[in-house]
Chain A
Amino acid sequence: MLAAVIVAVALGAVYVPLATSFRIVLSRLPLLGRMVEATWTPTQETIIVSVRLPRVLLALLVGMGLALAGAIFQGLFRNPMADPSIIGSSQGAALGATVAFFFGIKAGLGGLTSVPLFAFAGSLLAVLAVYAIARVGGRASIASLLLVGIALSSFLASIVSLLMVVSEDRMHNIFFWLMGGLGTGNWDMVLAVLPFIAVGAAAALLLARDLNLLMLGEERAAQLGLETERFKWTMIAVASLVVGAAVSVSGIIGFVGLMTPHIVRLLTGPDHRFLIPGSILGGGLFLVLADTLARTVIAPNELPVGIVTAFFGAPFFIYLLRRSRQQTA
């Protein structure tokens, strides 16, 4: 993991030797920093510290968040096709970002521009709306949540498309944001996302056992003493916050949240006590590597990172699937 981050920081459109990159990063750490002698140019330092490092860390956090949310939703809905966008959060974020672009809102909050802020708000509002609509007499069944989520997502997506058509000059901005990418990642974004991912990960790790119980079915879990209804909402809230935070800084990056948990499951089995931390690490690693490829393959041009995640993730997943089927056969 650490090795991947170091390699990712060393690779980019501009060549900086691996050792130099490593030492520049070291020099910025407390205590250790004094032991490193500065033998690099200020330009190299700016590239490593201000451009690459925040971007790599952001990729790490976003990947972690997406995979974590994917694992939670797949467990909660007992549906292998569940992914982070399942109950409207991604489309909500997309609409939030689109509105910020469309009205050219300039507001900011502590170094964050209006786009990630609106995306985050949109994400949470969408999930709340899905929950409010799906709720009948204080309870919402998983099935109706899924259906309402799909319906509302389509509705929000159509509004996004409409705004794109109506807004002539901002169409490109919206389009590029929707494609997903980490190109504008900076330290403010890293610091803004970090607490959400950290708290979400901690909560999911603590509740991983209960998620195992829920896999037995809601009735059985309730008999074993799990307050299923409250537990479900806690999990949905955790996953939604994590997704909202991840999507708000990176746009819509597909595949990571859907596939990482499956890949990890093939390696660790279905126990959430291993699946959750595995997904967190795997998702972070996956997106860091994918973004590094996206940045370097056709440098100085960039590929949209979503293309890379699908291009390498899908064949790898199919390979793992075939292998595990052969073992059980």
Chain B
Amino acid sequence: MLRKRSLLTVLALCILAASLLSGCGGSEKKGEERSPGVFTDDLGREVTLEEAPSRIVSVSPACTEILFALGLGDKVVGVTEYCDYPEEALEKEKIGTFTTPSLEAIVALNPDLVLATGGVQAEVLGRMEELGLTVYAVNPTTFDETLATILEVGEITGTTRRAEEIVTDMNQRAVEVARRVNEMEARGKARPRAFFEIYYENNVWTVGKGSIISNLIRLAGGENIGDMESGDYYEFSVEALMSQNPQVYLVGSGSMFEPGDITSRPGWDRMDAVRDGRVYVIEENLLYRTGPRLIDGLEAIHAALYPED
């Protein structure tokens, strides 16, 4: 039974790979650089692009990473304060923070495309439109959606071929991780029960089922203890954590610098994960940023869950 299900998983991934390679919606032939036109973004808004954009403002670190990976670095004219990857992004004009982008700074850059996200920025999007800016919102919440987003951005910027290369590579690596997980399961090894800490102060903040990190833990072959709740991020009581007793303890780099820091917390050494030295700090930008480096985050989690692999 187990084996059958894992075979299905691999099959599904292969089908996904195939469908992704044929592009979204199948409206164009593979590898053909599409001439721009009318696109529908992740918030269901219709966006018209007369020609491939040449002055792009990115309002999120993930978008910045996607644009640079697509080779559009020299067309990016503005980024947020948080955009620190790749290094060239630091040289670009700053247009404020991710949560409060400065409208006038964006207008002054005279962009022909503003790449934004939904969520926090939903209010500001309307304002940008009023000011006559062309805004395209991407809002991926899973690994697969991130692949689709990269293809989308490739499509609207006329870099479909490069986008397909990136996505193919990411997908192949994800399939490889899935294959190893299946092998482990075939050998009758249970998925390790992992807990993810994003922040600690008296209680621990963790990731629920709806979060991108939970999605990555699942793909990497772990079982996320935080999945008891459906939300994105929430507070988890230390008592509940002790009784859950995770086998692997994952920490975002924003919360802890060294795996050893955890032993200074009173009573934490009673947890299996801590006692067995299975505490791993993972660079959090590889997990939160839904861009080309998300696969590095997935592999980092997999390596933490299956060190013998």
Contacts and interface: CB of A to CB of B under 8 A. Distances in A.
A168 B104 contact: no
Interface in A30-71: 43, 46-47, 50-52
Contact of A301 (B97, B119, B210): B97
Given A13-B96, A173-B120, A176-B100, 11 more contacts: A12-B104, A46-B107, A51-B131, A165-B234, A168-B231, A172-B119, A172-B120, A173-B123, A176-B99, A299-B102, A302-B102
19 contacts: A13-B96, A14-B104, A43-B107, A46-B131, A47-B104, A51-B131, A113-B126, A115-B123, A168-B234, A170-B119, A172-B120, A173-B119, A176-B100, A299-B102, A300-B94, A300-B101, A300-B105, A301-B97, A301-B102
A90 interface: no
A186 interface: yes
A10 B28 CA distance: 49
B211 to A, nearest CB: 8
Given A43-B110, A169-B119, A302-B96, A51 B231 contact: no
Contacts of A113: 123, 126
Interface residues of A, number: 27
B100 A301 contact: yes
Nearest to A111: B130
A184 interface: yes
Contacts of B103: 51, 183
Nearest to A115: B123
B158 interface: no
Judged by DSSP, the binding face of B is mixed
Interface string B81-121: 10000000000001111011111110110100000000110
B233 interface: yes
Contacts of B101: 300
Interface in A174-203: 176, 181, 183-184, 186
B203 to A, nearest CB: 13
B208 interface: yes
B107 A169 contact: no
B232 interface: yes
